Amino acid sequence: MTHRTMALAVSVGCLLAATFAVWAQETSGPTSHPATQPAAKPPRDLIKPTSGTPQSATPRAVCTFQSIGLYWTPEGGAEDKACRVQYRVVGEPEWHEALPLWFDKRNGEYRGSIVQLKSGTAYDVRLSLPDGKPADLKAATWNENLPIAKTVEVDDLKRRTLTIDQSGTPGGYVLYAPRKGAATAVIDCAKSKEDSTVKAGEKVLSQGAYELTGAQDGDNGVVVKASYVILRGLTIKTPKVHGIVLDKGCHDVVIEGCDISGWGRIHTDGFGVDMDSAVFSNYTPLTRVVVQRCRMHDPRSNSNSWQQFREIYHENKHPDGPQGISFIESAGNHVFRYNDFMTDDDHYCNDIFGGGANNSLRGFPGGDSDVYGNHIEGCWDDGLEMEGGGCNVRIWGNYINRTMVKIAIAGLSVGPIYIFRNVAGSGKLGPESQGGVLVHRFSCPSPGGATCLFTVTYGSLRGVWSQLLSEADLPENHECLNLFLPDHWSRHVSERPFPIRVIKQNLPAALRVRELGYPGRVRAVTRVNGRPNREQPAPP
């Protein structure tokens, strides 16, 4: 690998594509009668960085284990002035090149990420414009080994909720773990299907309004009311609502090596209550949560598909049911990695990882967050619902199977978001029909909602149609999406095809289509209404 990693540090084994997508703005009113159209809404305030620090001519960095998010608002910034990014490990002489930062003309800010770095490492970063003096800063990725100041040994619990209420400090976390020598501590809430079924006339709050007030022992498996804590090696079974709740006031929480199963209420029509989750929070200031190496599986309840009728709504509607991880409008800077989510065909989710509003400036997972190395299966909507703000969100190395949408980025309003080296499996629209979406997005209702999307996604797309980009999504001179699919993988749905220019130099020689054993034709990733889409000859 050369030192010009171009921020993705692309290795042999992945395909590279770079696409700059400008979200169309939605309009309302009949187009045939301009005089009767409602007055244009006033523009919203300029979008601010989601981590809350004011814009500044002094660059700043927000780190995770393997990524550095960068923000810079220099005087004289402009779309036609590329912001060069260089980085090196502190103490090393040689600089490496990263992708230029993306310029957001709405607020004059450059944003972007350096990814696939080493954890626990200090870096020098240099930002420069063509006609200006470089700006230097230092940034250190998170350390894998957190300091432990105290260990709280957890015993098995039956029909009770475990409350985490002892906080640590940045210099010493409090570890909650099984007793020494025990393989796990079992928190068995022992809520039966009857206990967890909504009674006629019972009010069910939306998850944005969910409160612990009035919750009984066993309604939730674990409730975290502390910060700088680690939950390790716990087994959480059959809670009525959620497996783990991150409550008001908490931040800097690590959940690792836990097994969560059997959660979720059943509504009066037999389907699940929406967003009852293995890990849940609607605390909007929540930040710096790591969920890693956990096994989330087999919720009690089951979501409807898009094709199934819900009696409580009197219509076929958006899937409603359990989820794996749900954070509602959190402040972000989270890491979800190396987790497994599995379920059978009778206990599907709405989304697996998700939360928040599509048109939010935060959304899920919140800015400066990483989602990687997860194996997730079994939902009727989005495997990864990465929707809303998408500000320096990085998604890579995930295997997503048995979902309708693999990765959803609807309504991206801030950006940039990075999606690369994910593998998509099979898809289903409903219990009796095959189909699905590889990457789904639609226009953002917030004025000027623009984002920069870098995507490398490939895999065994049996039964999946790729709803990625339409012709209107592509700015001029950016027909450079290189996604190669065998013919039998392609089922595309939309109104019109558009050509994709095969840019051969973006492909390492080892990754040429013929050398991978694929058919000798390249099918452009389009959205086509049942017609064969345009083909390009494979590169030699």
Most confident of 97-106, 223-232, 435-444: 223-232
Q: Which pLDDT band holds residue 440 (cuts at 50, 70, 90)?
A: low
Query: Lowest-confidence range among 138-147, 361-370, 460-469?
Result: 460-469
The dihedral built from the CA positions of residue 461, 465, 471 and 472, taken in this order, carries a sign that is negative
Q: What is the pLDDT of residues 372-389, one digit of tens each?
A: 999 999 999 999 999 888
Closest CA to 498 of 475, 479, 476, 521: 479
Average pLDDT in the chain: 75
Looking at residue 209, its amino acid is A
Say if residues 91 and 121 touch (Cβ distance below 8 Å).
Answer: no
* DSSP code of residue 198: P
Closest CA to 490 of 530, 452, 455, 441: 530
Pairing of strands 428-430, 437-440: unpaired
Q: Report whether pLDDT(3) > 80.
A: no
The set of residues, in sequence order, having a beta carbon less than 8 Å from that of 395 and lying 6+ positions away, is: 370, 371, 372, 384, 386, 407, 417, 418, 419, 420, 422
Predicted local confidence at residue 381, as pLDDT? 93
Assessment of whether the complete model's pTM goes beyond 0.85? no
Q: What is the pLDDT of residues 43-82, one digit of tens each?
A: 444 445 444 567 788 999 999 999 999 999 999 999 999 9
Predicted local confidence at residue 467, as pLDDT? 37
Q: Report whether pLDDT(190) > 50.
A: yes
What domains, with CATH codes, occur in the chain?
53-145 (2.60.40.10), 148-464 (2.160.20), 476-540 (no CATH)
Q: How far is CA 475 from CA 123, 382, 420, in A?
A: 34, 27, 21
The dihedral built from the CA positions of residue 88, 93, 94 and 99, taken in this order, carries a sign that is positive
Percent of the chain with pLDDT over 90: 52
Q: How far apart are CA 313 and CA 133, in angstroms?
A: 60
Q: What is the pLDDT of residues 376-428, one digit of tens each?
A: 999 999 999 998 888 899 998 888 989 988 888 877 788 888 887 787 787 87
Q: Report whether pLDDT(491) > 50.
A: no
